[in-house]
A and B are shown apart, each in its own frame.
Chain A
Amino acid sequence: QKEVEQNSGPLSVPEGAIASLNCTYSDRGSQSFFWYRQYSGKSPELIMFIYSNGDKEDGRFTAQLNKASQYVSLLIRDSQPSDSATYLCAVGRNNNDMRFGAGTRLTVKP
């Protein structure tokens, strides 16, 4: 079993819709949860992080964490074509021990 699992996609949504990206993890000791966005040919960049159960909102992005279910998700409201990218979920015990999922490729169609 992979430590961090994501649906590889591709996930395709129309412009203006909500995109929902999911991630599960196996290590119950994980304390930090990150979402990175990676455009094709570019390096990952952080868009959201969450440490506590519940929701965290930042503009059009909402991260949701459920530690009991070992589940973290990212919602993108009013999806734009510029949101088309691969989204990487990262989970860690501490700053020295992070694990990344394989990523979900999102396509937002105009």
Chain B
Amino acid sequence: DVKVTQSSRYLVKRTGEKVFLECVQDMDHENMFWYRQDPGLGLRLIYFSYDVKMKEKGDIPEGYSVSREKKERFSLILESASTNQTSMYLCASSWRGQGFSEQYFGPGTRLTVT
């Protein structure tokens, strides 16, 4: 059974704190993604990675950074959390090979920044 796990389901942080969200997949997928999901805006891509130590900016990378030191692990970092980063954060992974493959999602982390 495929599995994507995220370090926390709920997180409350203060403005200005550094926040780490971690994602681990056990499917040996090359691609990993970080999205945020907000009402009326859907899923928006923050960053993705197609290989270890590789990263690409998505649509809304400002205020975020990522790290991928191992194939199975992809971390999202909020350098200095702000209230407008309160959101649901979803991690996903997929194969990179020929053709297209579905993205498997983690359970999500609901982050509240106060």
Task: Chain A residues near B95: list those with CB within 8 A.
Answer: 95
Chain A residues with CB under 8 Å of B31's CB are 95-96
Select which of A8, A43, A51, A90 is within 8 A of B90 by beta carbon: A43
Which of B12-20, B39-47, B69-77 lies at the binding interface? B39-47
Q: Which residue of B lies closest to A44 (CB)?
A: B105
Contact at A96–B41, with CB atoms within 8 Å? no
Residue of A nearest to B33 (CB): A98
Q: Which size class do B's interface residues fall under?
A: 20 to 34
From 83 to 108 in chain A, residues with beta carbon under 8 angstroms from any chain B beta carbon are 88, 90, 92, 94-96, 98-103
Q: Given A8-B40, A100-B42, check contact A46 B90 (CB 8 Å).
A: no
CB distance from B78 to the nearest CB of A (A): 20
Whether a CB of chain A sits under 8 angstroms from the CB of B79 is: no
Q: Interface residue count for A (Cβ, 8 Å)?
A: 24
CB-defined contacts of B106 to chain A, threshold 8 Å: 43
Distance (Å) between the CB of B45 and the closest chain A CB? 8
Q: Does B103 make an interface contact (CB < 8 A)?
A: yes
User: With a CB–CB cut-off of 8 A, which chain A residues contact B48?
Assistant: 96
Give chain B's interface residues, CB within 8 Å of chain A: 31, 35, 40-45, 48, 50, 56, 90, 94-96, 100-103, 105-108
Instruction: Give the 6 A-B residue pairs with the shortest CB-CB distance, closest first.
Output: A102-B42, A43-B105, A100-B43, A32-B100, A46-B102, A100-B42
User: Interface of A with B (CB < 8 Å)?
Assistant: 4, 8, 31-32, 34, 42-46, 49, 51, 88, 90, 92, 94-96, 98-103
